[in-house]
A and B are shown apart, each in its own frame.
Chain A
Amino acid sequence: MEFGRLFELFIAASLINNFVFTRYLGLCIFFGVTKKMDTAIGMSVTFTSVMVISAALNWIIYKFIMIPLGLGFLEIVIFIGVVAGFVQAADTIMKKVSPGLYYKLGIYLALITTNCIILAVPLLNAGEGYNFIQSMVFGLGSGIGFSLAMIIMASIREKLELADVPKSFQGLPISFIITGLIALAFLGFSGLITL
């Protein structure tokens, strides 16, 4: 039963309520990094892992520090602080432990701190009152969903490089329209959680 609920949560977070296509989050990054497939993949890996870990960290802090002390109203400041601190730490550790990986993913880390999608996960977790495991599953589902969106988008934009898009629509406008079309297709997933 519990597993079923978690699976449902995962599917809902990744496909049905996909961060990009139905919650409209992370659009700056989404449009920014999907010009190239390599960047999109690097970003996916980094994002998903940071989302899961920050979901866990923030859950612990929310549950054991903020709630007991009645500091719920500081959630924005604290969550951002935690994410920033964690990213900084990850940056330093990665540089020392695995320079190869740092070389590949380090540049994305810097972009992450002030990203709404990373911040939205702990905020939604706190709002929905998920438990520890659920928070992490939600973070994972959201991360995978975001990655999926980025990778699809990157492959489409690569194909579009050859296309003769009207001049005033080149760049962002056409990307918005593609996203709209993908969102239309993703509507097919709605209703899946109703068993």
Chain B
Amino acid sequence: MADIKKEHELLVSVSPHIKSEETTSRIMWTVNLSLFPALLMGLYFFGPKALFITALCIISALLSERIFQKVLKKKPTVNDGSAFLTGLLLGMNLPPSLWSFNPFMIHVPIIGSVIAIVITKQFFGGLGYNIFNPALIGRAFLLISFPKAMTIWTTPTAAFFALDAKTTATPLGILKEEGIGKLIEAFGDKVNLYTQLLIGHRAGSIGETSVIALLIGAAFLLYKRYITWHIPFSFLGTAALLAWVFGGKNLETGKMLLFAGDPIVHLLSGGLILGAFFMATDYVTCPTVRKGQIVFGIGCGALTMLIRIKGGYPEGVMFAILLMNCFAPLIDRAMKSNVFGAVKEKKK
């Protein structure tokens, strides 16, 4: 029993339902704050329409939480920042040109938020009990439901109704379809490619592009000890390693070239940074045991690269995290099995 106690003291990221409400809401609002630099960069690159999408997501997330709790006569928790965070993350994960395909698709972000809040979170009893990351489920649901609108990407412009914004592929899309050569060509040279990826001047979701801004937010969270290094670093490390080993491809034959991949491109694109620091680390949906968190991170990294290299989608972060969300309770169970008391104590 002494062991368990010690472990709980070390945990910064205990499931929020154990901690007091004030702490939960402070953590949540801090995470929201740490996402702001990336959001601002996204707004700068993609213009007011990005702001509109994100705001729509946040408002509908807050509203659906409030309405659901009102209907079920539950205590309102709208102010704890978690619904805001879900809406914000969902908005940051949507393509800025969502309705350049069809201007009447304003319902898309709203549906995403409702699915995220109601089905993924409130049906399970609210914050602290959800199995899956709500924002990611919302995005996955939208990706499958509106496959065309969700995969149209535009080059960064700052026009509001930029229906004529140039459609283009994301860096990973180019990498998957046409190879690294074409990607470097598209950005001029390799150095320019890396810097542009770092700054975020490229096609992609609203909040995923600016790696540098995301890293600032992540560093802040690490410094405040709201997240720990275990998940993000094992996630990124695994992904980088696998990208280097298996990411190379002989364009002529289409065969895989070992040890020829470009890990930097993979790390800097496709929402990997956003996913690793802000979504895989979600307190509720990842394992609570440290060892388990490392396993979780490695699993995320491996699945991401499996989907990117072998799978049907150019970017795999979302599905990788969701798949590992399925396994999180199992990992927790396996890692805790030697101290049976832990499960009992939680049950009360």
The count of chain B contact residues (Cβ–Cβ below 8 Å) is 37
Cα separation A152 to B325 with both chains bound (whole Å): 10
Contact check, B330 vs A151: say whether CB atoms are below 8 A apart: yes
Chain B residues whose CB sits within 8 angstroms of the CB of A195 once the complex forms: 310
**Interface status of B329 (Cβ within 8 A of chain A):** yes
**Interface status of B120 (Cβ within 8 A of chain A):** yes
Chain B residues whose CB sits within 8 angstroms of the CB of A151 once the complex forms: 330
Contact of B310 among A156, A166, A174, A192 (CB under 8 A): A192
Main secondary structure on B side of the interface with A: helix
Contact of A166 among B123, B307, B330, B346 (CB under 8 A): B123
**Interface status of B51 (Cβ within 8 A of chain A):** no
**Interface status of A163 (Cβ within 8 A of chain B):** yes
Which of A25-33, A97-105, A112-120, A177-185 is found at the contact surface with chain B?
A177-185
Chain A residues whose CB sits within 8 angstroms of the CB of B119 once the complex forms: 177, 181
Within 8 A of B (CB), among A150-195: 151-152, 155-156, 158-166, 169, 174, 177-178, 181-182, 184-192, 194-195
Interface size class of A (residues with CB under 8 A): 20 to 34
**Interface status of B316 (Cβ within 8 A of chain A):** yes
Contact check, B132 vs A185: say whether CB atoms are below 8 A apart: yes
Contact check, A188 vs B327: say whether CB atoms are below 8 A apart: no
Contact check, A191 vs B312: say whether CB atoms are below 8 A apart: yes
**Which B residue sits closest to A157, measured CB to CB?**
B329
Contact of A185 among B129, B140, B310, B312 (CB under 8 A): B140
Cα separation A152 to B131 with both chains bound (whole Å): 11
Contact check, A184 vs B144: say whether CB atoms are below 8 A apart: yes
Contact check, A182 vs B144: say whether CB atoms are below 8 A apart: no
**Which B residue sits closest to A161, measured CB to CB?**
B347
Contact check, A160 vs B124: say whether CB atoms are below 8 A apart: yes
Chain A residues whose CB sits within 8 angstroms of the CB of B327 once the complex forms: 152
Contact of B303 among A159, A178, A188 (CB under 8 A): A188
Contact of B320 among A164, A169, A188 (CB under 8 A): A188
Contact check, B125 vs A184: say whether CB atoms are below 8 A apart: no
Contact check, B129 vs A156: say whether CB atoms are below 8 A apart: no
Within 8 A of B (CB), among A21-45: 37
Chain A residues whose CB sits within 8 angstroms of the CB of B310 once the complex forms: 192, 195
A188 to chain B, nearest CB (A): 3
Contact check, B131 vs A181: say whether CB atoms are below 8 A apart: yes
Contact of A163 among B124, B140, B144, B332 (CB under 8 A): B124
- From known contacts A165-B124, A188-B316, A188-B319, infer whether A182 and B326 are also in contact, taking CB-CB under 8 Å: yes
B217 to chain A, nearest CB (A): 26
**Which A residue sits closest to B318, measured CB to CB?**
A188
Cα separation A182 to B307 with both chains bound (whole Å): 17
Chain A residues whose CB sits within 8 angstroms of the CB of B311 once the complex forms: 188-192
Contact check, B125 vs A158: say whether CB atoms are below 8 A apart: no
6 A–B pairs (Cβ distance < 8 Å), ordered by A: A37-B333, A152-B330, A161-B347, A174-B123, A186-B323, A190-B312
Q: Footprint of B on A, CB under 8 Å?
A: 37, 151-152, 155-156, 158-166, 169, 174, 177-178, 181-182, 184-192, 194-195
Q: Footprint of A on B, CB under 8 Å?
A: 72, 119-120, 122-126, 129, 131-132, 137, 140-141, 144, 303, 306-307, 310-313, 316, 318-320, 322-323, 325-327, 329-330, 332-333, 346-347
